[in-house]
């Protein structure tokens, strides 16, 4: 586990060490980077460092651009991730207001303008957008923005994914009562990351203003409890689902093979980038789960349910397990989708108190309280927590529909779960 510090200034300086000229302008001179630093620069163009967005561009980052323009009142089109004429017009309006050449193209200078709003420099705007597909990079920017706006929070990393992405955690509060919420063990269930990140933002807003949330005194919770959140356990898988398979992926050919020759990972892929289902990779009846794989026709890496070669074989699960072992969590919640169901028991090991809390969560959310059966009852995170620590652990399946759940369902999901997230932090 390590603490992470974000620095906008250092990021800009490091950027200009990679580039020298843009549109014939010596950007090093403009930004006062001294001559000694200039000597180490290779003169790459900005287009090689920054992705340019223009007519025809598509994807989650375009959705983020559209959502930001919408909040600024410069765009009224659909948040569809397709850079069309309306998006171009919105960019031109922003460029004119910012005294940037109105090309309608999101180049470096326009990205700088957008980033100020994305990172929350305008405190009248929320940082976390709930109407966009939630990639690792968008989450990372949101975490950076929250840290800039609320510098007193602790942000760190519990480890790294297979592809080297940070497994971020956020700590809310200073109390002795520790609780742990995590999301997106499964790639296709990325909306759980969005749920947790929006909770973080709203919790911080209430804390700084001294306000309550649904009659919960946030300042009191802050002093008595510490809420630890890992919003995205499986960032490699999430990006595979949302952004698709890139040719430079280390597992490019393996992934296609594991996906039965299909290059579309957007509808069924739950596993990490090595084809291991992270929520079947914990040491809780792992061997039984491995035996059950054959009944489901699973003989190796794939979209779902393959449990790996041994418990905690994946860096993501090892990091979560180590983080749990290092902390004295009184209660844990692993968020998944979908079904509007709360799973509370494991092999009849859960306590009477754990069931009572589950029943409370059920009443607060309207979700059904159930017990898992068959292969789904083996080697999950909450199963491992219950067995190893003999404390309440829950898997909560948010929303209803077909994964990945669309963001149009987010408001109901958030409203259903906000009381659970608050109540979990005050339970004894």
Q: Which residues are catalytic?
A: 397
What are the two backbone dihedrals, phi and then psi, of residue 379, each rounded to the nearest 5 degrees? 55, 30
* Euclidean distance between CA atoms 104 and 83, whole angstroms: 10
Helices and strands in the chain: count of H runs, count of E runs: 17, 13
The secondary structure of 38-78, three-state, reads: HCCCCCECHHHHCCCECCCCECHHHHHHHHHHHHCCCCCCC
Integer Cα distance of 261 and 380 in angstroms:
28
- Please say whether the beta carbons of 232 and 183 come within 8 A: yes
Q: How many CB atoms lie within 10 A of CB 261?
A: 7
Strand bridging mode 154-160 / 166-172: antiparallel
Task: Tell me which DSSP letter residue 380 carries.
Answer: -
d(CA 174, CA 395): 25
List residues bridging with 228 in a β-sheet. Answer: 171, 180
The CA distances from residue 352 to 229, 285, 378, 412, in Å, are 26, 22, 21, 30
- List the beta bridge partners of residue 267: none
């Amino acid at each position: 586990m390590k603490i992470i510090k974000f620095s906008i200034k250092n990021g800009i300086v490091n950027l200009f060490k990679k580039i020298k000229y843009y549109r014939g302008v010596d950007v090093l001179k403009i930004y006062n980077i001294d001559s000694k630093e200039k000597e180490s620069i290779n003169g790459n163009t900005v287009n090689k460092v920054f992705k340019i967005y223009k007519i025809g561009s598509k994807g989650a980052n375009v959705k983020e651009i559209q959502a930001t323009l919408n909040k600024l009142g410069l765009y009224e089109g659909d948040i569809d991730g397709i850079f069309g004429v309306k998006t171009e017009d919105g960019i031109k309006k922003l460029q004119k207001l910012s005294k940037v050449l109105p090309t309608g193209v999101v180049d470096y200078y326009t990205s700088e303008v957008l980033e100020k709003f994305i990172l929350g420099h305008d405190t009248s705007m929320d940082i976390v957008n709930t109407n966009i597909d939630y990639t690792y990079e968008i989450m990372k920017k949101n975490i950076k923005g929250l840290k800039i706006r609320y510098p007193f929070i602790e942000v760190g990393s519990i480890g790294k994914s297979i592809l080297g992405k940070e497994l971020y955690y956020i700590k809310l509060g200073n109390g002795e009562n520790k609780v742990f919420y995590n999301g997106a063990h499964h790639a296709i269930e990325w909306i759980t990351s969005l749920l947790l990140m929006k909770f973080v933002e709203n919790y911080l807003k209430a804390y700084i203003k001294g306000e309550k949330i649904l009659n919960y005194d946030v300042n009191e919770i802050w002093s008595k409890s510490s809420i630890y959140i890992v919003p995205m356990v499986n960032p490699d898988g999430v990006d595979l689902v949302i952004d698709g398979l890139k040719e430079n992926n280390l597992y490019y050919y393996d992934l296609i093979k594991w996906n039965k020759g299909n290059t579309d990972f957007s509808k069924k892929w739950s596993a990490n980038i090595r084809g291991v289902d992270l929520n079947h990779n914990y040491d809780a009846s792992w061997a039984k789960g491995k035996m059950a794989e054959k009944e489901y026709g699973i003989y190796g890496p794939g979209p779902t349910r393959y449990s790996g070669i041994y418990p905690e074989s994946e860096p993501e699960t090892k990091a979560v397990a180590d983080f749990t072992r290092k902390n004295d969590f009184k209660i844990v919640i692993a968020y998944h989708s979908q079904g509007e169901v709360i799973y509370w028991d494991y092999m009849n090991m859960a306590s009477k108190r754990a069931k009572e809390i589950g029943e409370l969560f059920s009443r607060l959310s309207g979700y059904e309280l159930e017990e898992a059966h068959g292969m789904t009852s083996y080697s999950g995170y909450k199963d491992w927590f219950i067995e190893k620590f003999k404390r309440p652990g829950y898997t909560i399946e948010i929303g209803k529909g077909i994964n990945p759940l669309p963001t149009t369902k987010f408001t109901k999901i958030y409203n259903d779960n906000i009381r659970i997230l608050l109540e979990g932090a005050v339970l004894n």
